[in-house]
Amino acid sequence: MEEEMSEPLILDGKALSQKLREELRREIERYTSAGYRKPGLAVVLVGDDPASQVYVKNKVNACRKVGIESIFYQLDKNTVTEELLDVIAELNSREDVDGILVQLPLPEQINQEEVILAIHPEKDVDGFHPENMGKLVAMMEDGFIPCTPLGIDLLLSHYGVGLKGKDVVIVGAGFIVGRPLSLLMLWRDATVTVCHIHTRDLKKHTLSADILISATGVPHLIKEDMVREGAVVVDVGISKVEGRIVGDVDFEKVKRKASAITPVPGGVGPMTVTGLLMNTVKSYRRRLRVHSTSTMKP
Ligand code: NAD
């Protein structure tokens, strides 16, 4: 007979998000009832990619619920780089805009590097500007950490998953998740391995993980035999298979081995949006202090 397995701890990103967003809502309410303006986040979407539309809608709704004013720009799919740069320049100079988010990926005629460089680092709540990436390398607290790595860090810390000295294995070295996450895990004193499409023996690496984080977008890449007994498993992947959202991890089987695991949906996804809200409020606080004698004061 099969030995009975204990159920793993579910790292519930939805529940933690609710809690953290409620705290943000109260904090913003304290500011606004003292006469300050609301925090402002500009969200720019170029084109009509259906997945991007869903992400942007989620972000705008989440802003509204906590009391962040969202300024939504929908630009035509044929927008050229210069037009987008003009929009960013205007947003950079607006007093009521604390954060600027340009939803990626951009249509191919747009030069993504130029766009990332154009966003003022102090309004770069996605944390993709090289100045903020550099601050992540340098462990400078005043930078913005990209939202998904930030959300994962908050989730692990909330559930008491220690990182110091642990073997963290990250599968996927993308610019948005894997790469900045590897720097953040190093900041937390983990021993970090980063795997990607050219990694020779993926399983050898994943089996050594105390904490295994997958961010590839390959459905069910991570199988049961690739996970060490008792590992903590974090699934960042989002793919659509036959109309269903699935992660990188074969959840039903892997959960038998993991001591803790994130669900998809309801794990990293909501924490990413929470990370964005936190970064926006971080910018707002800083800008209110800077401008506390100007128009922003009651
Ligand atoms: P990306 O395309 O930039 O990077 C993917 C990485 O995975 C690359 O480093 C690639 O080498 C690696 N990879 C691909 N196939 C592999 C394989 N077979 N074995 C090992 N490595 C492999 O993607 P990204 O922007 O980093 O996003 C990754 C996934 O995370 C996507 O599914 C995306 O939708 C999802 N995502 C989720 C959230 C969230 O909030 N949950 C946020 C951002 C991205």
In the prediction, which pLDDT does 4 show? 54
Q: Ligand 1 pocket: which of 150, 176, 204 to mutate (most atoms <8 Å of CB)?
A: 176
In the prediction, which pLDDT does 29 show? 96
Would you say the pTM of this structure is higher than 0.85?
Answer: yes
Catalytic residue among 12, 38, 98, 103: 103
Interval 206-222 mean pLDDT: 98
121-170 pLDDT, tens digit each: 999 999 999 999 999 999 999 999 999 999 999 999 999 999 999 999 99
Centre of ligand 1 from the C-alpha of residue 189, in Å: 23
- Whether 59 sits among the annotated catalytic residues: the reply is yes
> Which phi and psi (to 5°) does residue 168 adopt?
-105, 125
- Whether 112 sits among the annotated catalytic residues: the reply is no
> Which amino acid is present at 102?
V
Interval 277-287 mean pLDDT: 97
Nearest atom (ligand 1) to Cα of 104: 25
Kindly state if the Cβ of 171 falls inside 6 Å of ligand 1: yes
Q: Cβ(237)–Cβ(264) under 8 Å? A: yes
- CATH 3.40.50.720 domain residues, the chain: 147-269
Q: Ligand 1 pocket: which of 49, 52, 179, 196 to mutate (most atoms <8 Å of CB)?
A: 196
Nearest residue to 224 (alpha-carbon basis) of 244, 201, 207: 207
Q: Cβ(161)–Cβ(211) under 8 Å? A: yes
Query: What secondary structure letter does DSSP report for 4?
Result: P
From the number of C-beta atoms within 10 Å of its C-beta (0-12, 13-18, 19+), residue 276 rates as: buried
Question: What is the rounded distance in angstroms from the CA atom of residue 52 to the CA atom of residue 73?
Answer: 13
Per-residue pLDDT band at 296 (split at 50, 70, 90): very low
235-269 pLDDT, tens digit each: 999 999 999 999 999 999 999 999 999 999 999 99
Write down the CATH superfamily of domain 35-120.
Leucine Dehydrogenase, chain A, domain 1 (3.40.50.10860)
93-121 pLDDT, tens digit each: 999 999 999 999 999 999 999 999 999 99
Q: Cβ(213)–Cβ(236) under 8 Å? A: yes
Nearest CA to ligand 1 atom 2: 174
The highest-level CATH class for domain 147-269 is: alpha beta
58-72 pLDDT, tens digit each: 999 999 999 999 999
- CATH 3.40.50.10860 domain residues, the chain: 35-120
Interval 78-99 mean pLDDT: 98
From the number of C-beta atoms within 10 Å of its C-beta (0-12, 13-18, 19+), residue 226 rates as: buried
Question: What is the rounded distance in angstroms from the CA atom of residue 101 to the CA atom of residue 88?
Answer: 10
Question: What is the rounded distance in angstroms from the CA atom of residue 44 to the CA atom of residue 100?
Answer: 8
Centre of ligand 1 from the C-alpha of residue 216, in Å: 3
What separation, in Å, do the N-terminal and C-terminal C-alpha atoms of the chain show?
A: 70
